[in-house]
Amino acid sequence: MISGQKTQESILIKAMYSASKTGFEALSIGKLASAVGMSKSGLFAHFNSKEQLQVDLLKAIAKKFVEVVITPSLKASRGEPRIRAMLKYLLAWADAKFMPGGCLFLTAIVEFDDKPGPARDFLVSNQKLWLNFISEAASLAIVEDHFQKDLDIELFTFEFHSIYQSYHYASRLLNDPLAESRAWIMLDKLLERSRG
């Protein structure tokens, strides 16, 4: 499996797969090297520390999130259609095949929330971008006259995000067959009360 063309990107895809099962801390350069069929020193040429590997991995996950959630959502019309699209793509993200052990952001949040450092810093700034994206979508829904003018956008943002957290919990931990339909009901109710 050792190959000269093995790029950093393909290593990171493998790392995503592993980290979703074991978490970020358990992902050592040694284990990853054997998973991708490279020598430890060969892998060190790509990531010179475990910390660097974690940051690069988070950046790769963020890039994937843009591909899977952000870009397709932007193709939906502004206002409610885009917000519905965001939930649709989020649910697809939660079940993505490259993260068989569950959402890597939720894993990263639990692991890094109490660990100051560059991984946490990147994660926080990236999550803020995501929350801003939700807020922006809500603002556009006001402009489109889908939502009431005095909507509490910040509250909307956290309520929207919590639908995702709730879905992941019900679907992954509880194997709840109603997880998906409940996520849509939660969104319907949130949209309903946002209209005023």
Binding stretches for a second copy (CB under 8 A): 20-23, 25-26, 100-102, 106-107, 109-114, 123-124, 127-128, 152, 154-155, 158-159, 161-163, 165-166, 169-170, 172-174, 178, 182, 185-186, 189, 193
Core vs surface per residue 46-73: b (16+ CB within 10 A) or e: bbeebeebbbbbbebbbebbeebbeeeb
Give the shortest CB-45-to-a second copy separation in angstroms: 27
SS3 169: helix
Task: Give the closest residue to 171 by CA, choosing from 163, 112, 157, 22.
Answer: 163
- Between 77 and 125, whose beta carbon lies closer to a second copy? 125
- Between 31 and 78, whose beta carbon lies closer to a second copy? 31
- Between 69 and 99, whose beta carbon lies closer to a second copy? 99
DSSP state of 148: -
Give the shortest CB-178-to-a second copy separation in angstroms: 8
For residue 42, how far is the Cα from the chain centroid?
A: 29
